[in-house]
Structure 1
Amino acid sequence: MDMELLKRSADLRSLADIRLVTLEDGPGRGQRILVARNAAGVAFEVAVDRGFDISSLSFKGTNIGWHSPTQMAFPTHDPGSEDGWGFLRNFDGFLVTCGLDHYSKPSELDVSHYNHPHLKTRKMPLHGRIATEKGRLVSYGVDIETLEISCEGIVRQASVFGETLELQRKITLAIFGSELAIQDTVTNRGFRPTDHAVMYHTNFGYPFLDDTLTIGGLPDEISSEINSSPPRPGDEYGEKVDVVDNRLTPHQVPVLLRNLRCGIEIAMSYGQAALPKLAIWRAYQSGVFALGVEPRTDLRPANGALLQPSEGRSYGLTFKFSSV
């Protein structure tokens, strides 16, 4: 315990804080949000009732994360609506977890392994369901011993005669540090083999995302193509996705995102063994204007996983912020 620090800050609120609030107005009314900040200028919010995802992120007063037109809608729309495209009615925030049994476009998946006499296939919605599930808050606070801000939650995705998957997530940030860490474990809490796939849809927005942003650490061909087309909003822009398979075309970790106009660099690291693919999502349409950096697992039936009962998988991501 740092006694000299405690002499100057009796309860550490002059340096760091994390508070649980409930939104009282607007499209997100009624949902719980954890609001956190530290002495190094890192501030983030956790949407407890939307997958325990990081809904907002800033560094030294500059917004880093993406805020969409949906404005954190709550209750969330059914992801299975609109022929499986309902996710787009909810999509918002810096980190949107996709899964836990499917990501990517809507598709029909064999679910005969759940052993229901009639239900043999099921239509999986765009990017799965976990981002719309409410979390159970395990803990949050500023630890006077470790000098860390932390919060932990459990989010369950479940169906009768289907998956029972739990995401346990812990987010930590040192009071004086500039590295935000996310540690996840996904566990099959059912008694049948269960599909498992996850994608971390990490989204950057304005003003960190502008025409001076560059990205490094990717294979040269992709980096050159992305950096030769600076991010600028366009009314006719749709989206473009580039996918790197680390097993075939290795890339460096961390991935570096730098904006000299903002004076900020972010080093994004993740476990490549557990998340062997990385997608770069460019959605520069006017009124959308987002850049996604998306580590992901494989999908079944090609190379995706079936988790056995009580089996778990662990994943980790870190974001380190610095001034340039």
Structure 2
Amino acid sequence: MTDFLPVDFSDADLAAKTPDLRALAEIRLFRLEDGPGRGQRVLIARNAAGVGFEVAVDRGFDLSALSLGQVQLGWHSPNQMRYPPQLSSSENGFGFLRNFDGFLVTCGLDYYGPPRRAAGDTSVSPHRPERDFPQHGEVSTLQAHLAGYGLDVERGVLWCEGVVRQSGVFGDVLERRRRIELPLGGRTITLDDRVTNCGFNPAPHALLYHFNFGYPLLDAATELTGGFGDFAARFAELPPRPRSDTREIVDHLELPPDENGNLGVGLRNPALGIGVTLAYRQAALPSLLVWRSYQSGVFALGIEPGTTLPRVENGRLIGDTLGPRSSADYQLAIAVTSDRL
């Protein structure tokens, strides 16, 4: 079946049939009123091809859910999108695990990985000769400025845009502007990020796109697709099945891009006939982690493109940096495929 609904969105009669286009597509702002996530803003979108997504405006402007028709494709944790989120620095830097939830959890903007302590830049902050970097940074806990959202009929897309800022007095000031677009009749979401060092000194910079997949897309029949190469066979040796005593596995892969410098990786459940592919410039995101966590009650698969994996050597943080007043751009395409819907 085609990935596009055969609707001419430039048809002048369309406005006469559905004045605000809600018969075909919409993106609306809600505020949750109950449960652990009460009080946070959420954008909820759907289009004419059956793709739906949610954006957690107050949790890093991340894609908290992805669906096709009534089928959920992302992962939902026991944390239930808690809000306000717990401080990332809590529990010896493992506060991230109290918040971790959703289809996309962006990690950074200065660090990702397990909690680390490293030397601080005393020329910038004389008060902090050492810095604590909590697990996966803090950007996923930050509230966004909602720059806008809506339907662009001329371009045939629904869109939203938000800005988060990670800052501190005598510290780094990093800002990420994110724009998310989905064609009104298509099944490929594009995510454009620009990270800017708004300060006047070099700043550490790291970014990890923690894409998380869960049941029913993730199940015993699920297979890896795209450019995973030999790792797809290794993945198949341990089919996704929940067990209470299963420990998580994290693989750090080095995969070659195609002739255009792009890397496309994904997964597919043939029993559902549904798959998701992630495509991006491999030079911009050279690191790729795969997180397999099949423990009962967790049951998740993470496919995680990222910048250079940060590390600590001789007490100093080694990784990418952004110069004063400079920016780095990232773009990913998230394609939902189906041979049934």
- Tell me which interval the TM-score lies in, with the shorter structure as reference length: over 0.9
**Count of aligned positions:** 324
Range with bigger deviation, 295-304 or 219-228 = 295-304
> 2:204 matched to 1:189?
no
Residue equivalent to 2:288:
278
Q: State the alpha-carbon separation in 2 of the partners of residues 246 and 161 from structure 1.
A: 39
Residue equivalent to 1:202:
211
Residue equivalent to 1:319:
334
Distance 1:154 1:252, change over 3 A: closer
Q: Does the 8 Å contact 1:234/1:285 carry over to 2?
A: yes
> 2:284 matched to 1:269?
no
> 2:324 matched to 1:309?
yes
Residue equivalent to 2:263:
253
Give the TM-score taking structure 1 as reference length: 0.96
Shift of 1:300: 5.4
Secondary structure class of the residue paired with 1:112: coil
Letter in structure 2 aligned against 1:304: G
Distance 1:252 1:192, change over 3 A: closer
Shift of 1:248: 10
Residue equivalent to 1:138:
147
Deviations 1:129-174 (A, max 9, x none): 0000000000101112212110000000111111110010000001
Gaps of at least 5 residues in structure 1 are none
Distance 1:139 1:81, change over 3 A: same
Residue equivalent to 1:291:
301
Distance 1:240 1:114, change over 3 A: farther
Range with bigger deviation, 169-178 or 298-307 = 298-307
Residue equivalent to 1:27:
36
Distance 1:143 1:297, change over 3 A: same
- Of 219, 229, 235, the match for 1:226: 235
Gaps of at least 5 residues in structure 2 are 1-9
Q: State the alpha-carbon separation in 2 of the partners of residues 296 and 38 from structure 1.
A: 29
Deviations 1:45-88 (A, max 9, x none): 00000000011110121100100000001001000000000000
Q: Does the 8 Å contact 1:217/1:252 carry over to 2?
A: no
Q: State the alpha-carbon separation in 2 of the partners of residues 55 and 118 from structure 1.
A: 36
- Of 245, 250, 253, the match for 1:241: 250
Range with bigger deviation, 21-30 or 104-113 = 104-113
Q: State the alpha-carbon separation in 2 of the partners of residues 145 and 281 from structure 1.
A: 40
Range with bigger deviation, 242-251 or 69-78 = 242-251
Q: Does the 8 Å contact 1:219/1:249 carry over to 2?
A: no
Shift of 1:226: 0.4
Distance 1:206 1:226, change over 3 A: same
Give the TM-score taking structure 2 as reference length: 0.91
Query: Counterparts of 1:6-45 in structure 2 under 5 Å?
Result: 6-45=15-54
Q: State the alpha-carbon separation in 2 of the partners of residues 247 and 180 from structure 1.
A: 24
Residue equivalent to 1:147:
156
The share of aligned pairs that are identical, in percent, is: 48
Letter in structure 2 aligned against 1:115: V
Deviations 1:4-33 (A, max 9, x none): 322322210000010000000000000000
Letter in structure 2 aligned against 1:25: D
Q: Does the 8 Å contact 2:257/2:282 carry over to 1?
A: no
Residue equivalent to 1:110:
119
Letter in structure 2 aligned against 1:183: D
Letter in structure 2 aligned against 1:274: A
Q: State the alpha-carbon separation in 2 of the partners of residues 119 and 183 from structure 1.
A: 33
Secondary structure class of the residue paired with 1:316: strand
- Of 45, 55, 60, the match for 1:46: 55
Secondary structure class of the residue paired with 2:185: coil
Q: CA RMSD in A?
A: 1.9
Distance 1:114 1:167, change over 3 A: farther
Q: State the alpha-carbon separation in 2 of the partners of residues 247 and 218 from structure 1.
A: 8
Q: Does the 8 Å contact 2:208/2:307 carry over to 1?
A: yes
Shift of 1:301: 5.7
